[in-house]
Amino acid sequence: MTTTRKTSDFRIGCHLSASEGYLSMAKSAVQIGANTFQFFTRNPRGGTAKPIDPKDVTAFLDYSRLNDIGPILAHASYTMNLCAAEERIRDFAVNILIDDLYRMEFTPGNLY
């Protein structure tokens, strides 16, 4: 028996650059026929994250609702190692995790 799945139930996307902001990523997703995407919350090798632009987030959320984008998936940096033997590395990872989860609150309902 074959069943037909509604397009909005099937999520397909790719990894996109966050350098131009959330709205830019959503528009890129629509251009390639995707309805979700993954992005790094910060430089993949760690460090500080770009400041959140509230206007960009609002525009992204509106655009995403209109274009059935989401949920999106935030990808942690490669350097995040919560199981590291060295305390300073674990502390770095915990601080990144806390900051990333705080930042994800700007885009509710999305994944980390």
Taking alpha carbons only, the member of 45, 30, 33, 29 closest to residue 79 is: 45
User: Cα–Cα–Cα angle for 28, 99, 108, nearest 5°?
Assistant: 50
Give this prediction's pTM. Answer: 0.85
Task: Give the domain ranges of the chain.
Answer: 11-104
Q: What is the pLDDT of residue 4?
A: 39
Write the pLDDT tens digit of every residue in 63-83: 999 999 999 999 998 889 999
Write the pLDDT tens digit of every residue in 72-112: 999 998 889 999 999 999 999 999 999 999 999 999 999 99
Taking alpha carbons only, the member of 74, 72, 87, 84 closest to residue 36 is: 72
Q: Encoding tokens for residue 44?
A: 């993949």
